[in-house]
Amino acid sequence: MMNIELRGTAAAHGWPAPGCRCASCGRLRAAGVRYEPLSVVIDGVPLEDLPRRDVPGGHEVRGPGGGRVLVAAGPGLRPEPAPGVEYEAVLLDLAGSPEHLGYLRHVRAVTPRSQVVAVHIDHRLPSPAELDRRTAFWNRPADGPFRTLLLGGSRSGKSAEAELRLAACPDVLYVATGPVRDDDPEWAERVAAHRVRRPAWWRTAETTDLTGVLESAEGPVLVDGIGTWLAAAMDEADAWDDPSRARPLLDGLVSAWRDTAARVVAVSDEVGLSLVPSTASGRAFRDLLGLLNQRLAGESEETALVVAGRVTELG
């Protein structure tokens, strides 16, 4: 294996950046920690002394042993791989573009044999610990079974966290369980924002048959979200006046969640922190969703709560 020595991994001005007053840089200064600008030695030779070929977004270098390395030229840049090349290592801006790792895996430029190194790190990350947290699930095998339930309130950042956790996967099935509302411009704007944020090579299924998806899927699946699925299930079972009618559908979903072979990340609304709904149907929905969240969490390897874009692991 190629020996990669990292003497510096930060962006051009280092981290913390000189004179920067952001919270990220402030935390590092207070801790007396500094990450130096990018400096890499490959098999004993400095990166800048290796033979290189420029590519859009960066360059490709050859190590002393002949192995190829793809390098991002700076923050926000996504180096294009050469057709048909499997890289021995990639040095990427994972802080800003983790989905590019997913793309490189999608086109097979990065394989399980490739070394993946985060470079150009800077104050786009709140802390070094956050980079460690993210790289842990970016390096996780794409296949399941593995279940993650993300809970949070409206605009908490739970959907963005779900997408982040699967960003480095080569192929993701995005399951949108919400209805298509062509007559609601605000809803259409939300849906469009989610589509733009997702990598172009992800597949999308707009369906309420979540049980069927979980029974047949094997690779990474993102479900957004459980609350809209439940609303559709209550419609299907005519359960708004009698919530017990929806119980068989909930039982089927929990069974499929428990038995799935997929790596699933699902988003659901945390309903226990809001006001008590003023209508009987609203209370019925809240009670069923709270119960469903508990049951899914009990069958999940990971459960987390997202608040103001910050994540607390619940176990």
Q: Which two tokens stand for residue 70?
A: 């793809």
Q: Which two tokens stand for residue 72?
A: 């991002």
Q: How far apart are CA 76 and CA 272, in angstroms?
A: 39
Q: Return the DSSP state at 315.
A: -
Residue 155: which region, alpha, beta or left (left: phi > 0; alpha: psi -120 to 50)?
left
In sequence order, the β-bridge partners of residue 68 are 62
Residue 72 Cα distances to 11, 97, 130, angstroms: 11, 10, 21
Question: Are the C-beta atoms of residues 92 and 72 closer than 8 Å to each other?
Answer: yes
CA-nearest of 283, 229, 272, 219 to 252 is 229
For the chain, how big is the Rg over CA atoms in Å?
Answer: 22
Catalytic residue among 13, 59, 123, 194: 194
Residue 120 bears catalytic tag: no
Catalytic residue numbers read: 194
